[in-house]
């Protein structure tokens, strides 16, 4: 992962307040996550779920409510973020924590669901394509990829609309000035790619039913399914 030490450092700094801030930094928080969770529709009662860039485990915790017998693997560069994740899951939850770069994580054919929220946009185009290829390999046939993330505007004008809309909303969110400044500083780590480009990558890699299921300015939920014979 590009700049992985810087990414780890920045997210270690905000780990203690990350969940509290996230609702205010994602103006469409409820629809964004509700859509992502609703897409995680698998037949297994105890699915194996891989969370890429899991952070504090927020997305996984939502899926645990849907699948209380699920087996989770949470990967993140930030040890302090994963410490928060450990504290949020009850002792009966089956969770493995890995402090590492998930770019080349390999467990071929192991997972029913691979999820990610607000992480993959930190990668270069090459890194994103690698992640999507590895996700396809790591999914069981019929498995599902859900990426709830941020994307680049299709044109410079659209990108400015996205940026200005987000800033106006977070400035009115009630976050303190230092919290806002920290959030703006973290945007320097963003390496967003256009939505259409990423959907095309998913299709080229072999995902069927690749689509953007939700979009609110630059916040999107992407979906792809590994072919049953894949």
Across the range 73-80, mean pLDDT stands at 93
107-149 confidence digits (pLDDT tens) = 999 999 999 999 999 999 999 999 999 999 999 999 999 999 9
Residue 228 confidence (pLDDT): 85
| Predicted confidence (pLDDT) at residue 188 exceeds the cutoff of 60 | yes
Q: Could you tell me the pTM of the whole model? A: 0.91
47-63 confidence digits (pLDDT tens) = 999 999 999 999 999 99
pLDDT confidence of 43, banded at 50, 70, 90? Answer: very high
Residue 3 confidence (pLDDT): 57
6-34 confidence digits (pLDDT tens) = 444 444 444 456 677 888 999 999 999 99
| Predicted confidence (pLDDT) at residue 193 exceeds the cutoff of 70 | yes
- Sequential DSSP letters for the chain: -TTHHHHHHHHHHHGGGHHHHHHHH-TTHHHHHHHHHHH---S-SS-EEEEET-TTSHHHHHHHHH-TT-EEEEEES-HHHHHHHHHHS-TTSEEEEEES--TT---TT-EEEEEEES-GGGS-HHHHHHHHHHHHHHEEEEEEEEEEEE-B-SSHHHHHHHHHHHHHHHHTTT--HHHHHHHHHHGGG----BHHHHHHHHHHHT-EEEEEEEEETTEEEEEEE--TT-
């Amino acid at each position: 992962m590009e700049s992985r030490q810087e990414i780890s450092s920045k997210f270690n700094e905000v780990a203690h307040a990350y969940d509290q801030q996230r609702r205010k930094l994602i103006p469409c928080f409820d629809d964004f996550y509700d859509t992502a969770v609703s897409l995680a529709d698998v037949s297994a009662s105890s699915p194996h779920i891989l969370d890429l860039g899991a952070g504090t485990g927020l997305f996984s915790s939502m899926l645990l409510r849907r699948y209380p017998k699920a087996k989770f693997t949470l990967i993140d560069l930030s040890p302090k973020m994963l410490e928060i994740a450990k504290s949020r899951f009850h002792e009966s939850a089956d969770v493995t924590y890995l402090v590492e770069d998930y770019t080349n994580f390999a467990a071929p054919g192991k997972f029913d669901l691979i999820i990610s929220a607000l992480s993959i946009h930190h990668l270069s185009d090459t890194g994103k394509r690698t992640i999507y290829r590895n996700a396809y390999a790591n999914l069981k046939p019929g498995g599902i990829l859900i990426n709830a993330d941020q994307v680049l505007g299709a044109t410079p004008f659209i990108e400015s609309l996205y940026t200005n809309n987000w800033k106006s909303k977070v400035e009115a969110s009630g976050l303190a000035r230092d919290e806002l400044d920290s959030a703006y500083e973290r945007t320097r780590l963003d390496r967003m790619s256009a939505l259409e480009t990423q959907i095309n990558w998913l299709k080229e890699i072999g995902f069927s039913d690749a689509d953007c299921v939700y979009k609110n300015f630059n916040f999107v939920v992407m979906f792809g399914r590994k072919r049953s014979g894949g």
